[in-house]
Amino acid sequence: MKSDSSSPSKKKRFHRLLKFGKVTGYILVSLFLIAWAYRTYFMWQAEKLYNEVSTYLDKTDPHWRWEEILERRPQLEDSNNSAPLILEIAKLIPEEVWERANWNNSEPDPVVKIYELEPNSIPNKELIDQLDLKLELAAPALQKMRDLANAPIQGKYFIEWGDLPYSAKRSELSLIKNTSNLIEIDTLKNIIEGDIDQALTGIQSQIIVARSLNPPIDGVSLSVRNFVFGKTVQLLERVIAHSQTETLKLAQIRSLIELELKDSNQILLDALRGDRAMSFHTLGLAANQKMSLRGMSGFDSSQKSYFNALKHWLLLQARLITCQSIATSESTRIIETIALPKNKRLEKFHIIEKEIKEVAANISPRWQGLGYISIGGLIMATNIHQRVTTKLEITNLAIAAELFRLENNRWPGSLKELVPNQINEIPMDRYSGEKMKMKTLVDGIIIYSVGEDLKDDGGIIKRISYEEEDENSEIGEDLGFRLWDLDRRH
């Protein structure tokens, strides 16, 4: 009897479990179908955008992909490649040179202090002693550096990339900057000692270091290149401020600067195209789970958990493809603005920067970095390149004015006097869209651009090192090159 009474109860429990299982199954199947439809829709949208961007670039800019850019890098014979010599010099520089040995570490580097002084002034003995200490430590590298002035003005580097996008192992680029920094220290010491001929040789060496990065493969290579040219301009202003009659080497340096100005737009285009291709390539690897995104988005696709696999399948892949397409599309817009008149570029860049932030925010705050990081880098690289190129144009005018003084024993009354014997035409200010400016002073002249704030400050220049200026591009004063009368030079 007891067995018979428990039988209906077991059947009821079995039917309840069966019903629960069916309902659960229906729910799981429904959730899967919803997830599949959700993923399919967003993948369709992402792939549609991807195909539109790729098709457009295949038509308008063939060979735009990263692999193709690498394959098309020009080949250089060792005899025409200055890169090995530049790297060899850097490797001979001991680390102690950059550690500010024997003085208070809280104090700025002596080079920074020197750049705070007017170019025609002489540093105090303490600063000179600190330069001497650095040069003494770097004696083997200095000996090798003497060969650099006769090296080819082109180079090719083999940059090692890391596993993560935007955090590459760019050891060679650091070495290039170290060689440039040593040339800077040596040139400053030659200026102080009055060895102007050797100081001008240092200027030529700096230009060779900068031009060894032609064509720059991406925005970081371009930034190193501009770093060296920024130092070159500052050094040359100081050399001329202590010079009397150095016509020949000034003319040689001017020809190198003119060559740089001729190639300026193409150099910028090469770098921006490289950045765009790298971004497209690395985000594509991440979308296919071939690269970790750790440090960029908080998601690490290298972790083989079921949760991450599901997350990638459901939504992450579509988001990555979308970010990849947006970054590439917006990068292309920036690249296409290079053809615009010089004074309209900054305005266009600011519009693009604002728009990409809005687009990235609409995707998800978490993914803003993926869509925006390459765009922000391109805008920054372009603005820095524009500033350095403007300085080179001013420097070219300043050399022309100095050569005019040497020929006529007076300064030009205006930049128009330099045409046509010294220059073909007065260049346009890349910021204002007007002609470059010149102001006559009681003890010389200054040639200048109004700079990024578009305000004419009458040629007032902020005296800081290039590193400080690079960290703060909106310094508020004009960009200029000061030339002193002979009796004010030391």
88 and 55 both lie in a single domain: no
51 and 119 both lie in a single domain: no
Structure tokens at 129: 């002693």
Final residue belonging to a domain, choices 10, 29, 60: 60
pTM: 0.83
Give the model's pLDDT for residue 367: 46
Domain that holds residue 266: 76-276+382-407
Whether residue 242 is contained in a domain is answered as yes
Give the model's pLDDT for residue 314: 64
151 and 209 both lie in a single domain: yes
112 and 256 both lie in a single domain: yes
Final residue belonging to a domain, choices 407, 422, 448: 407
Whether residue 147 is contained in a domain is answered as yes
Print the SS3 string covering 169-183.
Answer: CCHHHHHHHHHHHHH
Final residue belonging to a domain, choices 391, 407, 423: 407
85 and 12 both lie in a single domain: no
Whether residue 368 is contained in a domain is answered as no
Number of domains in the chain: 2
Whether residue 270 is contained in a domain is answered as yes
Q: Each residue of 326-341: pLDDT tens digit? A: 778 878 888 887 767 6
97 and 47 both lie in a single domain: no
Q: For 467-481, b where at least 16 C-beta lie within 10 A, e where not — what string? A: bebbeeeebebbbbb
93 and 39 both lie in a single domain: no
Torsion angles phi and psi, residue 368, rounded to 5: -55, -40
Give the model's pLDDT for residue 361: 58
Whether residue 38 is contained in a domain is answered as yes
Apex 398 CA angle, 415 and 340, nearest 5: 70
Structure tokens at 453: 């704030």
Whether residue 284 is contained in a domain is answered as no
Torsion angles phi and psi, residue 147, rounded to 5: -80, -10
393 and 259 both lie in a single domain: yes
- Per the rule left: phi > 0, alpha: psi between -120 and 50, beta: everything else, 102 is left
55 and 190 both lie in a single domain: no
Q: In the chain, which residues have pLDDT < 70?
A: 1-6, 99-108, 159-171, 245-246, 289-315, 339, 341-346, 349-350, 353, 356-376, 464-476
Print the SS3 string covering the chain.
Answer: CHHHHHHHHHHHHHHHHHHHHHHHHHHHHHHHHHHHHHHHHHHHHHHHHHHHHHHHHHHHCCCCCHHHHHHCCCCCCHHHCCHHHHHHHHHCCCHHHHCCCCCCCCCCCHHHHHHCCCCCCCCCHHHHHHHHHHHHHCHHHHHHHCCHHHCCCCCCCCCCCCCCCCCCCCHHHHHHHHHHHHHHHHHHHHHHHCCHHHHHHHHHHHHHHHHCCCCCCCHHHHHHHHHHHHHHHHHHHHHHHCCCCCHHHHHHHHHHHHHHHHHHHHHHHHHHHHHHHHHHHHHHHHHCCCCCCCCCCCCCCCCCCHHHHHHHHHHHHHHHHHHHHHHHHHHHHHHHHHHCCHHHHHHHHHHHHHHHHHHHHHHCHHHHHHHHHHHHHHHHHHHHHHHHHHHHHHHHHHHHHHHHHHHHCCCCCCHHHHCCCCCCCCCECCCCCCECEEEEECCEEEEEECCCCCCCCCCCCCCCCHHHHHHCCCCCCCEEEEEECHHHCC
CB-based contact 478:430 (threshold 8 Å) = no
Whether residue 334 is contained in a domain is answered as no
Whether residue 482 is contained in a domain is answered as no
147 and 200 both lie in a single domain: yes
117 and 35 both lie in a single domain: no
End-to-end distance of the chain based on CA atoms, in angstroms? 122
246 and 118 both lie in a single domain: yes
Give the model's pLDDT for residue 88: 93
